A and B are shown apart, each in its own frame.
Chain A
Amino acid sequence: MSDELKPDQLLDKIDHTPSCGNWMDTPVHIRPGMYCYAAKAESVETLGLPNARPWNPTDDDWKLPENWKEIIHNAIKERLERFRTFKVFMDICVRCGACADKCHFFLGTGDPKNMPVLRAELLRSVYRNDFTKAAQILKMIPGGEKLSGGRPMTLDVLKEWWYYFFQCTECRRCSVFCPYGIDTAEITIMAREIFNLLGLNIDWIATPISNCYKTGNHLGIQPHAFKEMIEFFTDDIEEITGVNVEPQFNKKGADILFITPSGDVFADPGTYTCQGYLILFKYLKDKYGLDVTWSTYASEGGNFGFFTSHETMKRLNAKMYAEARRLGVKWILGGECGHMWRVIHQYMDTMNGPADFLEEPVNPITGTKFENAKSTKMVHITEFTADLIKHGKLELDKSRNANRIMTYHDSCNTSRGMGLLDEPRYVLQHVCDNFFEMPPNTIREQTFCCGSGSGLNAGENMELRMAGGLPRANAVKYVHEKFGVNTLGTICAIDRAALSTLMEYWVPGVTVSGIHELVGNALILPGEKERETDLRCDPLPGMEEEEDE
């Protein structure tokens, strides 16, 4: 990151007081470091999405279809009818400003167009101009156009939309504070749907969805390679614990299908979380005979389709139920991921259900019925593990995590699109002794985004990511300095990757860890040898000296 801004330079730029003047007169400047590269044509073609072609956001000519204005107008019209959220949110904002300083991107950049209200106004201004009576009446009097707060659609407006709707991570923090519940994520989702009708996706979203569609996961890991990668972990675990965890793939008739983001299979430190899952499933198999299978076809929990369009989300998500039906499992267990869980919790059953071929999920070990998942038939792994711990079904050695001084980052989607707050904390506190919360305005439903969600965790927009992650990092820094926190726990795959970079930038000395990595460290497998290291091959607390000798 040497060619990018140093933390001090980034901090110098922050000014939360907008200058005077009219935001509509401030032209957009698409600045390197703040935007993601354009979607590659071949990735757009995989799913048959419109206007696949090479293009560059910094070029004057975006190679749009000739009737692009008409496409946008019709797309807005259609979405106003299909989504009450969109229609109501276009109409009822009073611009009270309560949301203004709630957005991590505004707090980190000071750019007034990152105030959620103004981000929505970018689109609302065109809506007012094209769709409201007030604007049509005002247009009849001279100078009235300005009074209505509307503006006609132009190429510059489109570019401004593109720049700023790809500076929103759909985290919904603004929606918690809005007196009418206006959810900027919903408006960003509509804007991105419109972009996709014009072929204006970013590559960091388009290529993962293309891979996910064809090969089953974002990284395009083919079935044999997927199996091999997990078998690497099996070897590592055997070296550490002396036990072969024997993962199963595409097994028909298994009890449970397990789906997690492919990031856990591919990228550190998610890989350690993945090893945690493997250890847990081995334990449950040996102790209680629970039969869990992985799938190479549905090998992606994450769903970047959610950042593209509702339709793309549905097309990618369909694999989960399809695979559960094909394998004949009882129900589905989902790994640690943020937006994956918003999709499962709030969309999946509606889009691709009913899942009447599955059973209402019951934990066969504890007998607990997961009443809250009885229709969707998919359970979150921290709900599952918390239940096991509560019933004393896991043998845990907390001391193996004694060197971890923990805090916990709620991911946006699981907190504000689900309310999964205490389950991961419960698990954490049973595998780890030292736990400190960050300040109350930065956790639970008020949690701050990592700054890289909703498909913005690319490399080329690092300045945006580091600025957007500042409020989160700032709160971690607080507990790091006050309590010596050295590990940031999280249940999101994007967090595991993005927060690691963020910590390196803002709070060196804090590592990022999935909750089930810590479970994997603490869980005592039947027949295991005395462990000397944790899953990262770092010496366990108390084993450091032996290592030196």
Chain B
Amino acid sequence: MNQKYMLPLAGVFLLFLLAYAGVEGVGLQWLFGIVIPYLAVIAFIYGFVNRVMCWAGSAVPFRIPTTCGQQKSLPWIKQNRIDNPDTAIGVFIRMLFEIFLFRSLFRNTKAAFNRDENNKLTYSWEIFLWLGALAFHYGFLVVILRHLRFFLEPVPVCLTFLEYLDGIVQIGLPGIFLSGIVLLAAALFLLARRIFDAKVSYISLAADYFPLFLIIGIAATGIAMRYFTKVDIVGVKEFTMGLVTFHPVIPPGVGGLFYAHVLMVSVLFAYFPMSKLMHAGGIFLSPTRNMANNTRAKRHINPWNYAVDVHTYEQYEDHFREKMIEAGLPVDKEE
């Protein structure tokens, strides 16, 4: 068994059991429902801000965008303004495409090598990672937005509308929310890829499996509460409103499954800033994407640029003067 994923899996199970047993057996609702969520949110906000500030505190000495298209040069050569932007607007659009549509990932190809008489290397478009990633992130986004209904009273109309769209496929009662299903399916796809694709498996760390298992656990417990155990939704809202209004309450009739869900969410929050999940913030600060390719037109300043030793022309001429004169090369000093 591969401990790179068995240990994180066991860890997530342990979290689930801890909360479930803690609530059902020992009655630690206050710990898993109040103390830990508050601490987790504090850790998340502090950690996230801290990490972003820490990145922002590092200098950007050179303007080094990765150019993925034709540069701006002569007026009659068509520039690729998005993949090789030379203006702030171009950069903004490039970043929008990166952040909302995962443009770079969209380019993904799959290489194959056939050892036969032709020995051809071929590259085919590989869309599944892009699709999986997009489904995962947008599924998650809609799920999070939908959960805002637990924290807002009255529930804004836009949220009700989002719910309406999310539940447009109606099968039975309660109506199915697509986002939760998409999130779970996409997370399982990403997990399967990590385990079964030899290359991805080889590079994966425990830190890659842990958040996946955690999110799968969160989605699974959420789905279980909504469709199967039918959690006391009024009690849950009472609980969440208590948290946001800083008058926490422990409603009766909400069971261990809910607290397991809350604990896993809390762990995800607290874990976020110290993990690779910070790619969510990092993408905004990635210098190869968020800079304009105009260094020859507009001087970029390096805040720590320092003077260096150079071999000057005078030193050079002093060294070679005789040979230069003999060869008929002009010199600054005749002797």
Contact = CB atoms under 8 A, between A and B. Distances in A.
Given A18-B199, A176-B104, A445-B83, 5 more contacts: A18-B202, A386-B74, A386-B77, A418-B67, A478-B120
Contact of B64 (A88, A186, A223, A421): A186
A28 interface: no
Contact of A172 (B66, B71, B121, B308): B66
Given A96-B129, A107-B111, A346-B63, A376 B55 contact: no
A94 interface: yes
Interface stretch (A60-68, A311-319, A454-462, A513-521): A311-319
Interface in A213-229: 213-216, 222-224, 227-228
B77 A422 contact: yes
Interface stretch (B149-157, B180-188, B237-245, B316-324): B316-324
Which of A101, A183, A215, A222 gathers most chain B CB within 10 Å?
A: A101
A88 B305 contact: no
B35 interface: no
A223 B324 contact: yes
A51 B4 CA distance: 40
A54 B320 CA distance: 29
Per CB-CB distance, the 8 closest pairs between chain A and chain B, nearest first, are: A419-B71, A92-B282, A224-B327, A419-B67, A181-B288, A149-B205, A441-B123, A181-B289
Interface string A78-119: 001111111111011111111011100001000010010110
Interface of A: 11-12, 14, 16-18, 20, 22-23, 48, 80-89, 91-98, 100-102, 107, 112, 115, 117-118, 121, 132-134, 137, 146-149, 172, 175-183, 186, 213-216, 222-224, 227-228, 249-252, 296-297, 310-311, 314-315, 318-319, 322-323, 326, 344-347, 349-351, 353-354, 368, 370-376, 378, 383, 386-387, 390, 415-423, 426, 439, 441-442, 444-446, 470-471, 474-475, 478
Given A95-B208, A421-B69, A345 B330 contact: no
A107 B114 CA distance: 12
A18 B283 CA distance: 29
Contacts of B107: 176-177, 446
B313 A297 contact: yes
Contacts of A372: 71-73, 86, 294, 296-297
B276 A94 contact: yes
Contacts of A474: 119-121
Contacts of A87: 54-55, 58
Given A149-B206, A182-B286, A419 B275 contact: no
A121 B58 contact: no
Contacts of A137: 274
Interface in B274-327: 274-276, 278-279, 282-283, 285-289, 293-302, 304-305, 308-313, 316-317, 319-320, 323-324, 326-327
A80 B62 CA distance: 14
B104 A181 contact: yes
A213 B67 contact: no
Interface in B1-46: 3-4, 7-8
Which of B83, B207, B311, B324 gathers most chain A CB within 10 Å?
A: B311
Contacts of B173: none
Q: How large is the interface on B (under 10, 10 to 19, 20 to 34, 35 or more residues)?
A: 35 or more
A224 to B, nearest CB: 4
Given A252-B330, A421-B70, A346 B64 contact: yes
Given A95-B205, A98-B129, A318-B310, A373 B316 contact: no
A444 to B, nearest CB: 8
B226 interface: no
A419 B293 contact: yes
10 contacts: A81-B57, A86-B58, A87-B58, A88-B286, A98-B108, A180-B286, A223-B323, A322-B310, A344-B296, A378-B296
Nearest to B314: A326
B102 A179 contact: yes
A132 to B, nearest CB: 7
B170 interface: no
B109 interface: yes
B222 to A, nearest CB: 23
B66 A134 contact: no
Contacts of A319: 310-311, 313
Contacts of A93: 276, 279
A176 B289 CA distance: 10
Nearest to A125: B205
A315 B309 contact: yes
User: Chain A interface mostly helix, strand, loop or mixed?
Assistant: helix
Nearest to B332: A326
B326 A224 contact: yes
Interface string B67-100: 1111111101110100110100000000000100
A94 to B, nearest CB: 5
Nearest to B310: A318
B237 to A, nearest CB: 34
Contacts of B49: none
B18 to A, nearest CB: 15
Contacts of A95: 200, 203-205, 208, 276
A345 B8 CA distance: 46
B213 to A, nearest CB: 13
Contacts of A471: 121
A88 B55 contact: yes
B51 interface: yes
A17 B199 contact: yes
Given A417-B67, A426-B77, A350 B302 contact: yes
Contacts of A22: 4
B253 interface: no
Contacts of A14: 113, 115
Contacts of B304: 82
